[in-house]
Amino acid sequence: MSAPLFLLDSLPTADTLTLDGPEGHHAATVQRLRVGEELLLADGKGGTATAVVTAVGRGSLELDVTSRGYVDASVPRLVVVQGIAKGDRGELAVQAMTEVGVDEIVPWAASRSVAQWRGDRGVRAREKWVATAREAAKQARRSWLPVVAGSPDESTNQVARRIGGSAAAFVLHEEADDRLTTVDLPDAGEIVLVVGPEGGIAPAEVDAFAAAGARPVRLGPSVLRTSTAGVAALAVLATRLSRW
Domain that holds residue 52: 5-70
Q: How many domains does the chain have?
A: 2
Shared-domain flag, residues 83 and 64: no
Same domain, 105 and 163: yes
pTM for the full predicted model:
0.92
Q: Other CB atoms closer than 10 Å to residue 215's CB: what's the count?
A: 17
139: domain CATH number is 3.40.1280.10
Of 28, 48, 70, which one is at a domain's C-terminal end?
70
DSSP 47: E
pLDDT (tens place) for every residue of the chain, 244 residues total: 689 999 999 998 999 999 999 999 999 999 999 999 999 999 999 999 999 999 999 999 999 999 999 999 999 999 999 999 888 899 999 999 999 999 999 999 999 888 888 788 888 989 999 999 999 999 999 999 999 987 777 789 999 999 999 999 999 998 899 999 999 999 999 999 999 998 899 999 999 999 999 999 999 888 889 999 999 999 999 999 999 9
Q: Are 201 and 152 in contact (CB under 8 A)?
A: no
Q: Is the peptide bond before 76 cis (omega within 30 degrees of 0)?
A: yes
Question: Same domain, yes or no, for 59 and 116?
Answer: no
Rounded to 5 degrees, what are φ and ψ at 197?
-80, -165
Measured distance CA(89)–CA(143) in Å, rounded: 25
Distance of CA 177 to the CA centre of its chain: 28
Beta bridge partners of 66: none
**Whether residue 58 is found in the same domain as residue 166:** no
Are residue 23 and residue 119 in the same domain, yes or no? no
Q: Which of 90, 146, 97, 95 is CA-nearest to residue 116?
A: 90
Looking at residue 39, which CATH number applies to its domain? Answer: 2.40.240.20
Question: Does 150 lie in the same domain as 58?
Answer: no
